[in-house]
Amino acid sequence: MTPKIICKYCGKENPNEAIFCMQCGSRLKGNHENHHHDTSTKPKELNIKLLLIIISITLIIAVAVLYFAGIFNSPTTQISQVNQQEQVQQVPTPQIIDLKTAQEIKSMEDFVSTNPKDYQALLQLGHKYFDTNQFEKAIAKYQIYMANNERDPDVLVDLGVCYYNLSDFANAEKNMLEAIKINPNHQIGNLNLGIVLSAANRGEEAKIFWQKAYNANPNSDFGQRAKSFLENK
């Protein structure tokens, strides 16, 4: 097909060799050059845009893969809970309380309210708050219990764990030291005190209590956990 020149003024197709438009008489010289210049640059612009889109998608996918692999997660120190005998994170995610648990807590609160001298019920309510990560409420109940009963090392360790989860390392250490003073071989107390000291950047002191926790019962879960901390420090 013979190349045509389209007049930019009226749109008439003219022979390639025409200088003036056959319809409107406008000069066609330079129109042919501009036409070819415009179309030759479009593929380049499209290629650059396509390349940028591909690079952006690749980066997004790479970041997503690293995120879900846990690369960006900050390391957290874990601590053993006495009444649950499992681990919780230093800064726990707020726990969603299901309806059944909420009803149990409400029933316990009502009972303690009408029976303020029933310290065992009070203690169980404190444990329930503890189990549902309501550490400030648990502390209040534990303190009332301790003020009216002998200093129980298990409760002192639970109290220390509550303070630890609120990032109050000083009070966490204080209560755990008191528990160990009452019972020097308290394995969970020694283990948790080591974790508290480690979180406070006192690694060498932490090793002392992890060693005590291991020596108390090397074959228990807590003994093996203490061993793992010692080997990784």
Q: Do 18 and 4 contact (CB within 8 A), yes or no?
A: no
> In this predicted model, which residue has the larger pLDDT, 83 or 223?
223
> In this predicted model, which residue has the larger pLDDT, 146 or 5?
146
Query: What pLDDT score was predicted for residue 2?
Result: 59
Distance between alpha carbon 193 and the CA centroid of its chain, in Å? 24
Q: Do 9 and 26 contact (CB within 8 A), yes or no?
A: yes
Amino acid residing at 102: A
In this model, does residue 32 exceed pLDDT 70?
no
In this model, does residue 153 exceed pLDDT 80?
yes
pLDDT band at 29 (very low <50, low <70, confident <90, very high): low
- Give every CB contact of residue 182 below 8 A, 6+ residues apart in sequence: 151, 153, 156
Number of helical H runs and strand E runs in the chain? 9, 4
Query: What pLDDT score was predicted for residue 87?
Result: 39
Query: Counting beta carbons within 10 angstroms of the beta carbon of residue 230, is it exposed (0 to 12), middle (13 to 18) or buried (19 or more)?
Result: middle
Distance between alpha carbon 44 and the CA centroid of its chain, in Å? 44
Q: How far is CA 7 from CA 16, 39, 68, 111, in A?
A: 11, 16, 59, 95
In this model, does residue 78 exceed pLDDT 90?
no
Q: How far is CA 67 from CA 47, 73, 76, 91, 92, in A?
A: 30, 8, 16, 20, 20
pLDDT tens track for 194-222 = 999 999 999 999 999 999 999 999 999 99
Distance CA 169, CA 162 (A): 10
pLDDT tens track for 39-64 = 344 444 446 667 777 888 888 887 77
Q: Domains, the chain, ranges and CATH?
A: 4-68 (no CATH), 78-232 (1.25.40.10)
When mean pLDDT is compared across 93-97, 189-193, 228-232, the lowest value belongs to 93-97
For residue 150, give both structure tokens.
């002998």
- Residue 167: what are its φ and ψ, rounded to 5°? 65, 25
Q: Do 226 and 194 contact (CB within 8 A), yes or no?
A: yes
pTM for this one? 0.61
